[in-house]
């Protein structure tokens, strides 16, 4: 069988620990035998980031801008404990995902991979719900303090023109806490565009929720910018039969629970933090969540939502065969290959990505799955826990049959 040819390289960002092991296995067993894989490789493994003073992360993000599609392995974000574990680290390097996100000015879309054998906790959910979380500002870039005595707090904006604007936040008669938060029109606009673009790309309705009845100016600004940006997408939405739907966050929560799923739910930063954990848990497992970073110009980076699965890696280092779930990482690859195929007009590459996903579903539906999923399987289905390697072999076998 001839291998499928590619014309433009995929930006490949390698990572850390157990996911780095899975990364190589996925390439060896599921991709390289079938695709004449062209990638521009960046090693985002912690030690290489350290050696390059994190330049490799910046280079990888810039390459993504250049080529348009990337696939990324999970990476360690160093903390105090990691500094002790890796004494050669010269700095507590920032989160690669944060660095890439700010260079690409992107929005993260998280969606569950749903299978028949695992029913969502919310029984009427039939299709995946994708959460789009705004990744800039609000409480995450706020300042706060505590005061002891009675008094008044004011907030002042000083324009470069010299103009000033002051409001009284509150007068208090005793100890109090205070918080100053902001967001930028530019960031909100990028977020809105990324959401509308992704809705068009994936042919799903877009919901957006804030609390503009309370935060009339702050959240009202989000609502207004979304409305303005929607003007540029209205015709496309109509053509595809899609809806843009704005509602209050509390109303959205109630509607989401009663819905069948199958749409994108755009949330402000904090709402997205909370709701994405709720939605992903209700759908089953973190190991089945995919994550796509989309920038307003359509540049995309695919990855798994989970981390480097450290505990499994330590077992692997002791020589144990682990049952780590490679699904989300496989889907990062299939997503990126499908997108590359679409952009370059290589139907065989897009079809390969689809068949790879089908082969994964067939394997799971045959009851062959990693240990994390076996415990979640509904009554009436039988499932057997296999190692990561056995799972990948079972997928490879089915993939081969589909491609034959």
Q: From ligand NAP, Mg ion, none, which one binds at residue 325 (CB under 5 to 8 Å depending on kind)?
A: ligand NAP
Nearest residue to 194 (alpha-carbon basis) of 258, 112, 282, 101: 101
- C-alpha span between 15 and 144 (Å, rounded): 35
Least separation in angstroms between residue 26's CB and ligand NAP is: 12
CB of 83 to ligand NAP, least distance (A): 12
Of 212 and 271, which has the nearer Cβ to Mg ion? 271
CA 288 to CA 25: how far, in whole Å?
18
CB of 76 to ligand NAP, least distance (A): 4
Per-position x/- string for 334-373, each x denoting binding to ligand NAP as judged by CB under 6 A, each - no binding? --------------------------------------x-
Q: Which is nearer to ligand NAP, 190 or 329 (CB)?
A: 329
Q: If you search the block for the tokens 């809806």, which residue do you land on?
A: 243
Binder among 99, 324, 350, 363 for ligand NAP (CB under 6 A): 324
- The residue among 271 and 303 lying less far from ligand NAP, judged by its C-beta, is 303
Distance CA 402, CA 33 (A): 14
Number of shown-chain residues binding ligand NAP (CB under 6 A): 17
DSSP letter (8 states) at residue 377: P
State which residue has the least CB distance to Mg ion: 273
Structure tokens at 51: 């050696």
The b-or-e profile of 137-159 (16+ CB within 10 A means b, else e) is bbeeeeeeeeeeeeeeeeeeeee
Q: Which of 87, 82, 78, 7 is nearest to 44 (CA)?
A: 78
Contacts with ligand NAP in 85-114 (CB under 6 A)? 97
Nearer to ligand NAP, 23 or 196 (CB): 23
By beta-carbon proximity to ligand NAP, the closer residue of 64 and 325 is: 325
Q: Residue 315 to residues 321, 324, 372: CA-CA distances in angstroms? A: 8, 11, 16
- Does 344 bind Mg ion (CB under 5 A)? Our answer is no
- 77 lines the binding site for ligand NAP (CB under 6 A): yes
Nearest approach, Cβ of 272 to ligand NAP (angstroms)? Answer: 15
* 3-state SS string for 269-333: HHHHHHHHHHHHHHHCCHHHEEEEEECCCCCEEEEECCCCCHHHHHHHHCCCCCCCCCHHHHHHH
- Using alpha carbons, select from 278, 289, 287, 290 the residue that is nearest to residue 122: 278
**Cα dist from 371 to 151, 229, 374, 390, 397, whole Å:** 58, 44, 5, 12, 20
Closest CA to 284 of 185, 213, 375: 375
Contact mark string toward Mg ion, 216..255, x via CB under 5 A = ----------------------------------------
Residue 273, contacted partner among Mg ion, ligand NAP, none, CB below 5-8 A by kind = Mg ion
- Selected from 74, 118, 131, 242, the binder of ligand NAP by CB under 6 A is 74
Does 325 help bind ligand NAP (rule: CB under 6 A)?
yes
Strand partners, 145: 178
DSSP secondary structure of 88-152? T-SS-PPPHHHHHHHHHT-EEEEEEPP-TTS--SSTT--S-EEEEE--S-GGGG-EEEEE-SSEE
Rg (alpha carbons) of the chain, rounded to whole number? 23
Residue 286 contacts ligand NAP per CB under 6 A: yes
Residue 160, phi then psi, degrees to nearest 5: -65, -20
- Closest CB to ligand NAP among 204 and 308? 308
Q: Which stretch binds Mg ion (CB under 5 A): 83-91, 156-164, 266-274, 283-291?
A: 266-274
Residue 202: phi and psi, rounded to 5, are -100, 0
Query: Taking CB under 5 A as the rule, does residue 273 contact Mg ion?
Result: yes
Which one of the spans 145-153, 211-219, 237-245, 305-313 is the region binding ligand NAP (CB under 6 A)?
305-313
Binding range to ligand NAP, per CB under 6 A, among 31-39, 148-156, 309-317, 335-343: 309-317
In the list 57, 64, 75, 99, the residue contacting ligand NAP (rule: CB under 6 A) is: 75
Determine which residue in the list 307, 366, 367, 376 makes contact with ligand NAP, applying CB under 6 A. Answer: 307
Taking the complex as a whole, how short is the minimal distance between the CB of residue 395 and ligand NAP, in angstroms? 15
- Interface residues toward ligand NAP, by CB under 6 A: 74-77, 97, 286-287, 303, 306-311, 324-325, 372
Which residues make up the interface to Mg ion (CB under 5 A)? 273
């Amino acid at each position: 069988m001839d291998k499928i040819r590619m014309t433009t390289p995929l930006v490949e960002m390698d990572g850390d620990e157990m996911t780095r092991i899975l990364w190589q296995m996925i390439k060896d067993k599921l991709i390289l035998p079938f695709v004449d894989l062209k990638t521009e490789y960046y090693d985002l493994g912690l030690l290489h980031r350290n050696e390059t003073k994190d330049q490799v992360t910046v280079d990888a993000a810039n390459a993504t801008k250049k080529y348009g599609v990337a696939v990324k392995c999970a990476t360690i974000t160093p903390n105090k404990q990691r500094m002790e574990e890796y004494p050669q680290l010269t700095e507590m390097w920032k989160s690669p995902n944060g660095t890439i996100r700010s260079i690409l000015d992107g929005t993260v879309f998280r969606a569950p991979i749903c299978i028949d054998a695992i029913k969502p906790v919310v029984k009427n959910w039939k299709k995946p719900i994708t959460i789009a979380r705004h990744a800039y500002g609000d409480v995450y870039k706020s300042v706060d303090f505590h005061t002891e005595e009675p008094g008044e707090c004011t907030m002042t904006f000083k324009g470069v023109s010299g103009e000033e604007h002051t409001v009284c936040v509150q007068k208090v008669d005793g100890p109090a806490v205070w918080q100053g938060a902001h967001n930028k029109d530019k960031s909100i606009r990028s977020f809105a565009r990324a959401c509308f673009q992704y809705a068009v790309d994936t042919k799903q309705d877009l919901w957006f929720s804030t609390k503009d009845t309370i935060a009339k100016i702050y959240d009202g600004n989000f609502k207004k910018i979304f409305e303005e940006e929607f003007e540029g997408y209205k015709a496309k939405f109509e053509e595809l039969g899609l809806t843009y739907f704005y509602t209050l966050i509390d109303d959205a929560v109630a509607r989401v629970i009663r819905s069948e799923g199958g749409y994108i739910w755009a949330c402000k930063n904090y709402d997205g933090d909370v709701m994405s954990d709720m939605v992903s848990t209700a759908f089953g497992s973190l190991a089945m969540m995919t994550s796509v970073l989309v920038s307003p110009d359509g540049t995309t980076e695919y990855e798994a939502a989970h981390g480097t699965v450290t505990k499994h890696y330590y077992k692997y280092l002791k020589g144990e065969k682990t049952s780590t779930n490679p699904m989300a990482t496989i889907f990062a690859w299939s997503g990126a290959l499908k997108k590359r195929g679409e952009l370059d007009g290589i139907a065989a590459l897009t079809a390969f990505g689809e068949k790879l996903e089908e082969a994964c579903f067939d394997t799971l539906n045959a009851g062959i799955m990693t240990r994390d999923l076996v415990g979640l399987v509904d009554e009436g289905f039988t499932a057997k826990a296999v190692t990561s390697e056995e799972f990948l072999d079972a997928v490879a076998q089915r993939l081969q049959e589909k491609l034959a």
